[in-house]
């Protein structure tokens, strides 16, 4: 992949120099995964950092036979950076919702670039602080009613990964269980809230296209918090 395209796709590298980008991509590998396939198993964390070129994935927490969705990621995002920095065991995996293309950069290559490029190092710290802030917000979100929790999750995904259209903003149509996990709402209440949002005309779900479209962005934004 060309360095200018890579830089454009991933905001993390906005300030990275050309030499840094060339070093990062020297050993990068692109892989395609079908929907439903595990992109990263729980025992493989720490080997590389993964950059999402296209598609939607979920990060799951595993406990015995149960799996809980912790996060949903889309194109332009990345994962695996924390594991190469703290080298702690993980009880999570990453699974593709849709067909996915991922570019992986070996851990040592990535760490080397962080040490060599102060601007990249600083940018990385900024994004990690932002992720920590989102984690804190998720904790505060538990105090809200189900409708507010779900609206916040959906609008957050739309802002980060959504595809703007004339009708609204399209995101992947997440299964109800995954929305319930992310918002920490029961599946029954999640289904009720989604039905109300559809009846109000605030969202439209297209199963064939696998999209959930936020039509009334203003009302959804007013319902959500952390704007």
In tens, the pLDDT along 8-28 reads: 899 889 888 888 999 999 989
DSSP string, 116-128: H-HHHHHHHHHHH
Among the ranges given (35-39, 64-68, 91-95, 197-201), the one the predictor scored with the smallest mean pLDDT: 64-68
Is it the case that residue 227 has pLDDT exceeding 60? no
Is it the case that residue 127 has pLDDT exceeding 70? yes
Count other Cβ atoms within 10 Å, centred on residue 115.
9
> Using an 8 Å Cβ cutoff, are 30 and 102 in contact?
yes
Count other Cβ atoms within 10 Å, centred on residue 136.
11
Say if residue 206 is in the same domain as residue 115: no
Say if residue 78 is in the same domain as residue 38: yes
Say if residue 68 is in the same domain as residue 21: yes
Say if residue 135 is in the same domain as residue 155: no
Say if residue 113 is in the same domain as residue 160: no
Domain boundary, last residue among 139, 159, 192? 139
Say if residue 176 is in the same domain as residue 214: yes
Say if residue 83 is in the same domain as residue 166: no
Domain boundary, last residue among 123, 139, 155? 139
Phi, psi of 207 (to 5 degrees): -60, -35
Domain boundary, last residue among 81, 116, 139? 139
Which band of pLDDT confidence, cut at 50, 70 and 90, is reported for residue 89? Answer: low
Say if residue 17 is in the same domain as residue 122: yes
Say if residue 95 is in the same domain as residue 14: yes
Which band of pLDDT confidence, cut at 50, 70 and 90, is reported for residue 85? Answer: confident
| Total domains, the chain | 2
pLDDT in tens, 110-123: 999 988 899 999 99
Say if residue 164 is in the same domain as residue 91: no
Say if residue 45 is in the same domain as residue 79: yes
With CA atoms as reference, report the closest residue to 74 among 108, 41, 102, 40: 102
Mean pLDDT estimate for the chain: 91
Give the CATH number, domain containing residue 213: 1.10.10.10
Is it the case that residue 86 has pLDDT exceeding 60? yes
pLDDT at 133: 87
pLDDT at 79: 93
Which band of pLDDT confidence, cut at 50, 70 and 90, is reported for residue 76? Answer: very high
Say if residue 36 is in the same domain as residue 124: yes
CA distance readout (Å), 190 to 83, 92, 184, 186, 193: 32, 24, 9, 6, 5
Its domain, for residue 170, covers 145-223
């Amino acid at each position: 992949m060309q360095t200018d395209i890579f830089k454009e796709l991933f905001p993390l590298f906005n300030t990275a120099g050309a030499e840094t980008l060339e070093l990062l991509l020297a050993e990068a590998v692109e892989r395609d995964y079908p929907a439903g396939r595990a992109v990263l198993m729980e025992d493989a964390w720490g080997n590389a950092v993964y950059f999402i070129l296209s598609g939607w994935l979920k990060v799951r927490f595993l406990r015995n036979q149960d799996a809980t969705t912790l996060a949903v990621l889309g194109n332009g995002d990345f994962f695996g950076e924390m594991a190469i920095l703290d080298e702690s065991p993980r009880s999570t995996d990453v699974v593709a919702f849709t067909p996915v293309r991922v570019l992986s950069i070996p851990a040592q290559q990535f760490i080397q670039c962080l040490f060599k490029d102060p601007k990249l190092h600083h940018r990385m710290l900024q994004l990690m602080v932002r992720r920590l802030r989102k984690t804190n917000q998720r904790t505060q979100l538990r105090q809200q009613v189900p409708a507010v929790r779900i609206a916040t999750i959906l609008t957050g995904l739309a802002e980060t990964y959504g595809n703007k259209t004339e009708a609204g903003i399209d995101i992947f149509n997440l299964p109800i269980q995954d929305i319930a996990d992310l918002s920490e709402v029961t599946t029954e209440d999640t289904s009720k809230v989604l039905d109300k949002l559809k009846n109000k005309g605030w969202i439209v779900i297209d199963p064939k296209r696998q999209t959930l479209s936020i039509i009334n962005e203003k009302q959804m934004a007013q319902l959500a918090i952390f704007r």
